Structure 1
Amino acid sequence: MDLLNEHWIKTEGSSYYVSTYKNETKSFNKEIAEIKKELVTASLLFAYVSEKLELPDTNPSLSINNEDEGEAEENPDSKFISNFSFREIYETIANSQFTFSTDIIRDFHLNLTALDDKHFVILNGISGTGKTQLCRLYANAVYGLDYEAENPYLKIIPVRPDWMDATALFGYYSSFEKKYIITEFLQVLISAQKERDKPHFIVLDEMNLARVEYYLSDYLSAVESRKEILLHNREDVTDIPQKISIPPNVYVLGTINVDETTHSLSDKVLDRAFVMTLSDVDFDHYWSTLDQSVKAMMSSEYEILCDIHNYLKSYDLHFGYRTMNEMIQKLVRNKELDEEFSLGSMPALDRVISEKMMPKLRGDERIADLLSTLKAKFHGHFGDESQSYGHILRMEKELERYGATQFWR
């Protein structure tokens, strides 16, 4: 397993991973030639470990060019070469399985690279529009990697609601454990200090689950003032520096959702970041990426879902790619069941709309016309005994009585 890791083959326990086959596209997430190469490499390593084969020099040119073989040690990170060429980054993202317009990719690139010493971008938008995926795609594209590849210079950190101060990012000295508690964020900063020529990307996922100005204040001040941040003042801590600065090769990306579980961003944060909104979705492109058999099976349901989505969009209650994909996948799985167990097409669609679309439906008297339109559509498609139609009737009554309504009772 150690040898496999050294040759950039991913392992987990006693298993190793080469590629993933996607049923939707009927293809692997890597080129076939690359998969074959990794399988051959793994086979040779197994033969070597079983003492049936002598492992050849993986970089003979180093032995030829260096008289001292001890100097021929290969840097494992030398394969990661960064490149901020927009054309190459754009082509990598455009050729992925995700859907992002040229405007979004260009704006994201400019926001992240326009300033020489500060790189801070916040992505806002409805859930499921690919905010985190865009961050990962871009960071990997800078290193010429596809979406699924492991990037040692990218760290995605989920923000916790209990982050109350800077220790959530920069760690702290534990008197109980007699050591400095290091965080993923601090690890990236230390690595970036050592490898100044490599851009390091940090994604703070759902960053406004906690108050951003509380835990990010030290970072924001350090970036603005170019002063060092005090980590500790203990002489017995030697593995962590007492102070640290934010090097210019650190790129911080934040994703936020706006709902009742999140906090608004203060002007202190907004003034120091570029804020982008990803709420537009292109379902036509999404539909074009699906397998032809899925399209033939789901065309009627897809048209109904798109029609409903368009009405929801005018009220900012629409849904993203994740929701559409999960609804389509469930509908496909239902049709694959034996006939005696599967639901009919319309009952299944009614069920999935009730489960995935309607839970986010809420508002005041401004959505009265929306509810009326949805009631007519649900009655026409699913009948007056359907779940969706029943939910709309109840919500209309609540709106009339209380002046506001929501799916949840």
Structure 2
Amino acid sequence: MAASITDKEQIDDLAIQALEAMLEMHGPDHRFPTDAIWQFIPGDFEIPSTRKPPVPRRLVKRGYLQETGAKTRAQSGPRAGSTTTEYRFGEQLVPENKTSAPFSESPSASQAGAPTANLSEAIFSIQKSMEAEGYLISPAELANFFLAMTVSPLVILSGISGTGKSLLPRKFAKFTSSNFQSIPVQPQWADNSDLFGYVPALANDTFIKGKIVDSILDAKRHPDSLSIALLDEMNLAPVEYYFSDFLSVAESRERKSGQIGSDPLPIDLPSEPSEAHSSLCEELRGVELPHNLRVVGTANMDETTHSFSPKVLDRAFTIEFDDPDLTAFAIGESDTNANFEGLAQAVIDPDNAISVMEAQSKNQDLFEHVAAWLSEIQDILAPTGIKFGYRTRDSILLYLHFWREFGLSDVLSGSAALDFCLLQKVLPKVSGNSDALEFALNQLSDWLDARSEPSLGVDGIDAEFAGALERSREKVSRMSSLLDLDGVTRFWGV
């Protein structure tokens, strides 16, 4: 009879022995789910299921495991076939898997023209600092948030309540020394006056300042610092009612004399302000969208809120928080006084590409490959009336451009980066109740499975992005199941 082991140190030692056996059998490039480790535990030992969940996190901390950022499927046990985290061997077992050189906290590195040198290590380090304060997020999810903010002025964090949506931008701002303002959205917001301000009908020399004005002014006054405005519960009111003008201005961003500019923001100011309001009005008159301002919205998708229109989804990166790992607990220790201004500098670097044309010379081959894959998905969805245009394509291409430019493959594998893009920019558009949609979802599932299958002998872009697209595959599977059950499906909350 196998001996049951409950001691934490003994379990970790057995898991390390199992990893060594896996390395010998499969080689240093092997990627695997957590449960694969337990298949290599010596046969005369048994580890209770309640003792297994914390082990990978401890082994990551000790350098025996690394997350690839991708998701895969469990291979054994009661969770076989379900989505789980993908790992590779850590630097203690495969030294060449060591992440990039230690991150320099000095912002001078980015100002000297090398903002991307150590961003992978920065993301690992800031994740540990957040965990030291009890906030749980994986390095891959943090890298995804970082990339989304680099591409788009608007990032939406959706999902169930209590998963840390509001805390993420707050923590990121804290550790990067960025300005942060929380703006609770009210259900009665029916136009942009509450956000940008207005002139009262009975006092035409007065300006009532809107909720986001302070963030705009901070960003304008400190152009070298990131400013984050959090629209908390942003879909309590219809987003298009109070935010459509912002979206239109964000769409107008362009390069002006080497700097990033836009159309003026829609701020209603008095033509002849009183002395008490003249200074503020003068500063706001004709103000454009600051290149260093990011709006992060949180959204609970339930019967008390409003859904997002295609206009909003096209212009935002929508990150869903809907599958918290309830077995995970914060175990990290870190210097909570650490500062990661270099990450914020990378997000707002004025030299960052703001269009595909600006990035195309460096990534033509990548863009052509990804565009071809998106065209295949478009062909699958088109018979249902679901289509996406250049804006969606370009957002995905810029995300992957920055992923490559910033050298984030240590945190986020190519397949994981592509997976996040499909999950956040394409799948939110899918909803409906037709037989054609059922057929399209099945075809899309087959396409994702085919992309996830190992391909021998591939090189170049195909090798860079080889791997499972498990996040998207799991979402499509859930949407198909809902369509079978209810006769209608949706992206949100599934």
The structure showing larger relative contact order (alpha-carbon pairs under 8 Å, at least 6 residues apart) is 2
TM-score (normalizing by structure 2): 0.38
Structure number with greater Rg is 1
TM-score (normalizing by structure 1): 0.45
